[in-house]
Amino acid sequence: MTQINKQWRIAARPVGRVEESDFDWVEEPVPALQEGQVLVRNVYLSIDPTNRGWLNETRTYLPPLPLGSVVRGTGLGVVEASANERFQPGDRVMGLLGWQLYALNDGRGLTPVPELGVPLTAHLGLFGHIGLTAYFGLLEIGQPRTGETLVVSAAAGAVGSLVGQIGKIHGCHVVGIAGTDEKCRWITEELGFDAAINYKTESVPERLKALCPRGVDIYFDNVGGPILNAVLSRINLRARIVLCGLISQYNNAGSPVPVNLGALLVQRARLEGFIVLDYVPRMMEAFPHLAQWYMQDRLKYRVHIVDGLEQAPAALNMLFDGANQGKLIVQVSDEPG
Amino acid sequence: MTQINKQWRIAARPVGRVEESDFDWVEEPVPALQEGQVLVRNVYLSIDPTNRGWLNETRTYLPPLPLGSVVRGTGLGVVEASANERFQPGDRVMGLLGWQLYALNDGRGLTPVPELGVPLTAHLGLFGHIGLTAYFGLLEIGQPRTGETLVVSAAAGAVGSLVGQIGKIHGCHVVGIAGTDEKCRWITEELGFDAAINYKTESVPERLKALCPRGVDIYFDNVGGPILNAVLSRINLRARIVLCGLISQYNNAGSPVPVNLGALLVQRARLEGFIVLDYVPRMMEAFPHLAQWYMQDRLKYRVHIVDGLEQAPAALNMLFDGANQGKLIVQVSDEPG
């Protein structure tokens, strides 16, 4: 039986927000399985800010995709057929499955989904790259100490919301920056952040001054841009800035942004880039802690599911509009029974 | 006998290059010595890029000076009179003596000049804050390893010229960036840098590409600005950028400069501010190494002396014009016999 694949391929390099015209929707039969190959049916696609950078012509931490390629994306799926002894039909796997219903893979890019007794979507979030990003980015680069002040941007986002909570667990004074009053209420009232700033309606410099009376020791930056400079003007001696993302810049990738380097110099502060791929081999250090905090209800977490592969381009724009509430996932097909 | 002091005081906040009108020249009797005080005759004033930042109204790593104050400056002098048991006439001391002939000090800001058997001026250079900046900035923040590529800006300057030589001693491939062909020849032919780029006549991005075929592992940045971005576009994974100075920015301090943060993120690189004051307590770790390399002729060094306190403002501008050749020092009065 030949399955019909559905794919989003890159038709043009997007400028700014993505448009449907930047993609081609292709339906065609899945090629026959070759020796060593695995056929995976995609169930969930993770939609992350980094996906936008992957569409550009410039190299990021992964090579650029040629025009005409299936859009790169992290997915979680189920093995439908296998000519590879490492995988059996029914296995649940993760990897760069791409924006498509079926992925043919030689097996080297597939990771078995560990049995953690959590919802499948959690493997794309708290118990996946999102949780690892928050855990290692904050603890390894940010190095929080009790009593320090931690500021988090995109604080209601998948990563930011975890970073703030892990900061609280480590005894920090945590201030989150988000884009709606609802998000600000959620991170303070539900997640236990000490304070929140709505950067769309409030003056970030003034609010930082009021809410961080002892200055800023750690800034977990997901956005770059003017908010970075507002925080830099409040940093303490030997502050650590975790450069985890530059969502404000992805739509015009590559153009240098103004940074108050004088503050970094004078405060002997450190600004360090972080990519979660480097820490994937250490995931089993993080998961027991994340699981424990999750069980203790000290780490809360929400998922925003968009239904249908057809919606993937629109879902990507939601991230940049701040329209999602929690970890954004596109459901491509039904969960295995 | 009452001595007549000569002082440069701050008359106005300079904009861009300093002008004589930004300073007042004052001659007045030195007040009588009070209990606990020390009267120091200034012999040499160190002229450093940081002096320019100290004239601004904004806080740097030291508080701003009120208008009317004697200009802050590091000096080396000789005790002329003392009402403080820690100091005797004839003692050679260093400290923030200021742009003046005589400094009255309560003794707490004075450090005895150690007996190293080197010229007095060396205590403002190789065996002073300059040597410590190069030594600790490169070794602690830059962490050079054999075979790595080190790029140094302001490479013919007092700090940069030492950084490149210490990099060579640690087995690095060293490329210096300077502003004249003479400086480029000096650092390659005399100091042993592997290559030099004249940023005024050559394309820095193109030359970096040619001269750093294996990318850049360490950038010792004394200037900020477009050269920083040119280097960032060539950095390797886990590169270290030592932010030691921002000479291109001091004349418009506080304004954020464009920085290619995307390169930092993608390469998981670190940009870290460095102020030598933090390492002064560790000076005795550095001096034996610096002395040994100096004796072995592996660390060369030159001093540019400008005669007369009257020339101090003009000397400060020389730094920003790239007009000095070596560590810039103003001679205020004769060396003690």
Looking from the CA of B245 toward its CB, the CA atoms found within 13 Å total 26
User: What is the helix (H) or strand (E) element at residue A25, kind and residue range?
Assistant: strand A23-29
pLDDT 10s digits, A25-64: 999 999 999 999 999 999 999 999 889 989 988 877 888 9
Nearest Cα residue to A144 out of A241, A229, A263, A275: A241
Nearest-by-Cβ selection for B259 from A253, A259, A268: A259
- Out of A244, A256, A261, the one facing B260 most closely (by C-beta) is A256
Which residue among B259, B268, B278 places its CB closest to the CB of A261? Answer: B259
Q: Which two tokens stand for residue A33?
A: 């399985």
**Statement: residue B2 has pLDDT above 90:** no
Interface touch B269/A273, C-beta < 8 Å: yes
pLDDT of residue B264: 92
CA of B45, closest CA in chain A: separation in Å?
Answer: 23
Residue B220 CA to residue B155 CA, distance in Å, equals 9
Q: What distance in Å separates residue B270's CA from the closest CA in chain A?
A: 4
Integer angstrom CA distances of residue B245 from A166, B119, B200, B263, B322 = 35, 27, 19, 20, 15
pLDDT attached to residue B61:
79
Give the residue among A10, A275, A189, A319 at the shortest CA–CA distance from B262: A275
Q: What is the mean pLDDT of chain B?
A: 92
> Looking at the partner chain, which of A258, A262, A264 has a beta carbon nearest the beta carbon of B258?
A258
Q: What is the mean pLDDT of residues A290-298?
A: 93
Residue A71 above 90 pLDDT? yes
Q: What angle do CA A252, A254, A255 make, to 5 degrees?
A: 75
B13/chain A closest Cα distance in angstroms: 18
Higher-confidence residue of A244 and B44: namely: B44
Q: CB B273 to CB A264 under 8 A?
A: yes
In Å, how far is B140's CA from the nearest CA of chain A?
13
Q: What is residue B249's predicted lDDT score, i.e. its pLDDT?
A: 57
Best CATH choice for the domain A133-279+287-294 from the list 3.40.50.720, 2.160.10.10, 3.50.50.60, 3.40.50.880? 3.40.50.720
Q: Share the mean pLDDT of chain A.
A: 92
Could you state, in order of their start, the residue ranges of all structural domains in chain B?
Answer: 4-125+301-331, 129-279+287-294
pLDDT at A57: 87
Q: List pLDDT tens digits, range B241-279.
A: 999 876 655 555 456 778 888 899 989 999 999 999 899
Q: What is the pLDDT of residue A58?
A: 80
A233 burial (CB, 10 Å; 0-12 / 13-18 / 19+) is middle
Between B246 and A261, residue with greater pLDDT: A261
> How would you classify the pairing of strands B102-105 and B111-112?
unpaired
Of the given ranges (A45-59, A82-96, A135-149, B203-217), which has the lowest mean pLDDT?
A45-59
Q: Find the residue in A nearest to B262 (Cα).
A: A254
For domain B129-279+287-294, give the CATH number: 3.40.50.720
Contact present, A34 and A55 (Cβ < 8 Å): no
Nearest to A246 by CA among A217, A220, A216: A220
Pick from A110, A108, A106, A93: nearest CA to A33 = A106
How many residues make up chain A in this entry? Answer: 337
User: How far is it, in rounded angstroms, from Cα A37 to Cα B218?
Assistant: 43
Task: Give the CA count within 13 Å in the CB-facing half-sphere of A322.
Answer: 19
Please indicate whether, in this complex, the C-beta atoms of A272 and B264 are within 8 angstroms of each other. Answer: yes
pLDDT tens, position by position, A120-176 = 999 999 999 999 999 999 999 999 999 999 999 999 999 999 999 999 999 999 999
Do residue B272 and residue A269 have CB atoms under 8 angstroms apart?
yes
Q: What is the mean pLDDT of residues B35-57?
A: 94
Residues A240-249: what's their mean pLDDT?
79
Q: Please tell me which residue of chain B has the smallest CA distance to A275.
A: B268
Residues of chain A with Cβ-Cβ distance to B222 below 8 Å are: none
pLDDT at A262: 86
Q: Which CATH architecture has domain B4-125+301-331?
A: Alpha-Beta Complex (3.90)
Nearest CA in chain B to A253: B262
Q: Is A259's CB within 8 Å of B256's CB?
A: yes
Q: ipTM value of the model?
A: 0.81
Picking from B115, B108, B80, B90, the residue whose alpha carbon sits closest to that of residue B5 is: B80
Residue type, B177: I
pLDDT at B251: 52
Distance from CA of B226 to the nearest CA of A (A): 10
pLDDT at site B150: 98
B258 Cα distance to chain centroid: 24
Dist. CA A100–CA A92, nearest whole Å: 16
Q: B254: which chain A residues are within 8 Å (Cβ-Cβ)?
A: 260, 262
d(CA A133, CA A128): 9
> Which chain A residues touch B if contact means CB-CB below 8 Å?
59-61, 224, 228-229, 243-246, 249, 253-262, 264-275, 278
Helix (H) or strand (E) holding A184: helix A181-185
Helix/strand/coil for B332: coil
Most B-contacting residue of A266, A270, A274, A275 (CB-CB within 10 A), to test interface:
A266
Report how far residue A43's alpha carbon sits from residue A102's, in angstroms, rounded to the nearest whole number. 9
H helix or E strand, kind and range, residue B115: none
Partner residues linked to B44 by β-bridges: B76, B331
Question: A13-49 b/e with 16+ CB inside 10 Å = b?
Answer: ebeeebeeebbbeeeeebeeeeeebbbbbbbbbbbbb
At residue B190, does pLDDT exceed 90?
A: yes
- Of A56-60, B164-168, B219-223, give the range with the top mean pLDDT: B164-168
Q: List beta partners, residue A103.
A: A40
Q: How far apart are CA B112 and CA B95, in angstroms?
A: 9
Surface-to-core class of residue B320, CB atoms within 10 Å of its CB (0-12 exposed, 13-18 middle, 19+ buried): middle
Within 8 A of A267 by CB-CB distance, chain B residues are 61, 273
Residue A165 is predicted with a pLDDT of: 98
- Which of A265, A267, A271 lies closest to B264 in CB terms? A271
